[in-house]
Amino acid sequence: MTATHDIVVVGGGSNSLTAAAYMAKAGKSVLVLEKNDHVGGGAVSTEVAPGFIHDPHATGLMTCFSSPALRNDELGLFSKFGLEFIEWEAAFTTLFDDGSILVSSKDIDATAASIAQFSEKDAEAYRQLGRRCVTLAPLLSMGMANPPMPFNRFMELLGGSALGDEVVRSLYISAYDIICSYFESTEVRLHHLKWIGEAMENPEANGTGILVFNLFALVHANGAFAVKGGTQQLSNKLAQAIEHFGGTVRTNAQVTRVIVSGGRATGVELADGETIMARKAVLASIHPWLLGDLIPEVDPRIAKEAREVRLSNHGAVNQQISLSVEPIYIGANDPILKKSMVVEYMPRGDFEGMRKIYDGYKYGEVPHGHFNPLTIINSYIDKTRVPKPENCALYLYHFAPMKLKDGGLSAWEDLRDEYGEYVWDAFKSYTTNITDEHILGRLIETPLDHHRHSASMQNGDIFGIGTAGGQILGRRPTPALANYRVPGIGGLYLTGPFMHPGGTVTLGGRPTAMVMCTDMGINFNSVFHL
């Protein structure tokens, strides 16, 4: 007998789980189907050595705190299911190779004081820009938690004020242009441009200017957090919420086809041939590149436009390393290095070198001589992640080309360990005590591994698709698909990092659920706290 549910959800990533939880709360019978043996997509955790909990993908969280799903506890993740977050004192810090540091704290004046070490003029410029960005935070937060407004409407809303006009202009110029116009110090420029590169775009690409305003607003209005016990806990709590509201979550269930009948999505077919029917809707996390393959009934023009969506400029190699001891850093080993979510490591004067590597990534080149790692060590503030207080659960990360110049994506199979060693050696040079003998366990994942882990990460793009101006808001992933519906196929809805509001953990299924509730005539007040 074929099973039937109101809503069948394809994929169990954090966006899909969020949308599914809202629809279950709305009283619909919901079934989530996840191909892996665990839910979460990129919001997962793994044990690399006994007792060491690592987050191999999403680990430092900021953007999700813009969502009422957390801010207003709309799904009861805190009050009903015991989700816990721990806040960092600072969002990101740069440790330069001479031991000097630059800290971006939640407090604007504290950040400016750190900048003043390098330039008093830049410190004052930061105070002014930081305060202006904080005034934008409510608008940006509202935009991330709701369906995207039409691009032209967004432009009209921002226009008419000096700040609004500057934000509109930022959609057409680069982050590099903006940062260099505000700041004169090489160190301040390095610090911010490297962080903006974490959006997986070349900071010199036109359309990345908006990332400056997003970054500053997030740092000073949201703050930076870790999930107590690992990011997997967030995904698990979302799954618990679905089940609490009457839904079902199935793992090891790979969907190979969305069934379309009479111009509507009516069910799915699994890899083993099982079919499951949907009375109301199919909610799917389908990468734009795969939309026409998984659903041949999609209008060929729409499928072609989706297939032409641009991926990010670069990918990443992530390492999870279980260490017997915590690092002691060069310089003064400032305590703030253990209170910062992200620490970036860079040569103090290598501005031109940092600029050039982004072009190299685009052409598949390995950045020999310019390895500038990033670390997140959640075990500094969350001792549940390590078996002993002195242990360290290290997240070591570095940008990388998605497709290598010689051999493409598949060539990462042979370069994985070598690239990992380059990054590991670079990190060790910023410490005074860490050696290979301190390693108790290690996991290295390349763009090839990311591609295999999730169909949302085509070619290892951890943001789903590119995030420059042409692929945000009502143009993400394409204008035709940006409202989470697929034209010509009723009852089919989309969610995922390639949809608005974009990559990172955003709990971006909320706006999809809002569209579904609208179409189904569900009272918003019964589902959302508006």
Interval 292-301 mean pLDDT: 96
Residue 260 belongs to some domain of the structure: yes
Residue 239 belongs to some domain of the structure: yes
Best CA proximity match to 485, nearest among 258, 256, 265, 310: 265
E strand segments, 130-263: 225-227, 248-250, 255-261
Res. 78 pLDDT band, cuts 50 70 90: very high
pLDDT of residue 3: 85
Asked if 398 and 374 count as a contact pair (C-beta separation under 8 A), the reply is yes
Q: Which of 140-154, 239-253, 447-461 has the lowest mean pLDDT?
A: 140-154
CATH number at residue 61: 3.50.50.60
Q: Is 364 helix (H, G, I), strand (E, B) or coil?
A: coil
Q: pTM for the complete prediction?
A: 0.96
Asked if 75 and 490 count as a contact pair (C-beta separation under 8 A), the reply is no
Res. 138 pLDDT band, cuts 50 70 90: confident
Residue 340 belongs to some domain of the structure: no
Residue 64 belongs to some domain of the structure: yes
Residue 92 belongs to some domain of the structure: no
Asked if 323 and 392 count as a contact pair (C-beta separation under 8 A), the reply is yes
The predicted-structure confidence for 142-178, as pLDDT tens digits, reads as follows 778 899 987 777 777 777 788 888 888 898 999 999 9
Residue 332 belongs to some domain of the structure: no
The predicted-structure confidence for 471-518, as pLDDT tens digits, reads as follows 988 899 999 999 999 999 999 999 999 999 999 999 999 999 999 999
What's the CA angle centered on 400, arms 397 and 405, to 5 degrees? 160
- The answer for residues whose C-beta is within 8 angstroms of residue 32's C-beta and 6 or more apart is 9, 11, 12, 16, 17, 20, 39, 239, 242, 247, 248, 249, 250
Q: How far is CA 382 from the centre of its chain?
A: 21
pLDDT of residue 350: 83
* 421 Rama sector, left if φ>0, alpha if ψ -120 to 50, beta otherwise: alpha
Asked if 434 and 428 count as a contact pair (C-beta separation under 8 A), the reply is yes
Percent of the chain whose pLDDT exceeds 70:
100
Percent of the chain whose pLDDT exceeds 90:
88
Q: Looking at the 3D structure of the chain, how many domains does it have?
A: 1
Res. 139 pLDDT band, cuts 50 70 90: confident
Average pLDDT, the chain: 95
Structure tokens at 501: 């509001």
Residue 129 belongs to some domain of the structure: no
The predicted-structure confidence for 387-438, as pLDDT tens digits, reads as follows 999 999 999 999 999 999 999 999 999 999 999 999 999 999 999 999 999 9
Domain that includes residue 250, residue range: 3-41+57-85+228-310+462-526
Helix crossing, 120-145 with 108-115: angle to 10°?
140
Structure tokens at 277: 């029917």
Residue 271 belongs to some domain of the structure: yes
Say if residue 469's pLDDT is above 70: no
Res. 7 pLDDT band, cuts 50 70 90: very high
The predicted-structure confidence for 23-57, as pLDDT tens digits, reads as follows 999 999 999 999 999 999 999 999 999 999 999 99
Asked if 56 and 134 count as a contact pair (C-beta separation under 8 A), the reply is no
Say if residue 298's pLDDT is above 70: yes
Q: Is 44 helix (H, G, I), strand (E, B) or coil?
A: coil
Length of the chain: 530
Say if residue 443's pLDDT is above 90: yes
pLDDT of residue 161: 80
Pairwise CA distance, residues 275 & 8, whole Å = 11
Res. 330 pLDDT band, cuts 50 70 90: very high
Start-to-end CA distance of the chain, whole Å, equals 41
pLDDT of residue 517: 98
Say if residue 1's pLDDT is above 60: no
